[in-house]
Structure 1
Amino acid sequence: MAKKTARIKTDTHAVRLQTRDDVETAIKQIGDLQRQLEGLAIEQNNELAAITEKFAPKITALKAEIEPVQQAVQAWCESRRDELTQNGKTKTGSFNTGEVQWRQRPPSVGIRGVDSVLESLRTLGLTRFIRVKEEPNKEAMLNEPEIAGTVAGVTIKTGIEDFVIMPFEQEV
């Protein structure tokens, strides 16, 4: 089964090659360079994977070493929170070697099963919690380009031609 080759799309330009043979040679050259590029990308990914694999055990070990110390610091500070925060006047406790902080996370909403939540909101009459997104209808504009093009900020692009080169896969 032949592997699908990458397509190169560019704007059309004036021809600089003189003969059909020159063009065939250039297309072959593009295919060769694309394969070199793909090979380098694979090599890069393999080296990144090897580096990640090399450092992963060290990183995991350090995280495991940090965790119990972090928990002990948190437990000690939690038991002395009033003292460290000056009875709640600050959210930070200072030490010679660093500080600890208590920060309130902002409120957030989690939704599981969007369709059933939307149905429940409609049933309960809570439509104010449903967002209706308004946006320009590009499909309708393409159906009536003369009218849509008269609107400030709307540009209808037509007749743009891409030139595509698809080198054949070479047997290695």
Structure 2
Amino acid sequence: MTPYALTVDAGIKDLRAADHLIHLLAAELALAEGAFGCTHLLRGDRPRVALSLTLPSEPLLRTARERLAAGGYEVSPGVPDAAGRAVIYPGVSSLTGTLTIAGVLARSAIDRVTVLGGSSQLAPDTRLVTWDHVRPQWQDGELVLTAMPAVGGTLVPFEVPAPTPCCVDH
């Protein structure tokens, strides 16, 4: 990632709303292809989800910061932590349908795919059913997608597009 980053704290409480806001801001700001938009869980006395935008140049960062501040958003420099969950990143729009691991890595900024609870290296021809919802996370400077086994020897992203809220029947 580049050093051209900022954090937007809109007081959002859930990931779905944060994803929606990242997409809205990306459209409003006409973010460049090399941009990253991530979510970050902020804990403490006021738990919430902050957004970070990492841009490919200082002029783009300055313009984004000015436009966001003018729009009433709370903007601060840098990212809140190094473990952001990427929503917008180079190649994300090409991660649709079923792809091989090699295809995911070739088409996007994702550096590696891991299987939850697994330790072995994945074969490049292993198939990933994306559900059109691929949210990798930053881990030690790499963008890593965590997947889990699925039907027919395929994998699916660990994060599902429409999770069932906890205790929905209670």
TM-score w.r.t. the length of structure 1 is 0.18
Greater helix content: 1
Q: Which has the higher strand share?
A: 2
The higher relative CO (CA closer than 8 Å, separation ≥ 6) is in 1
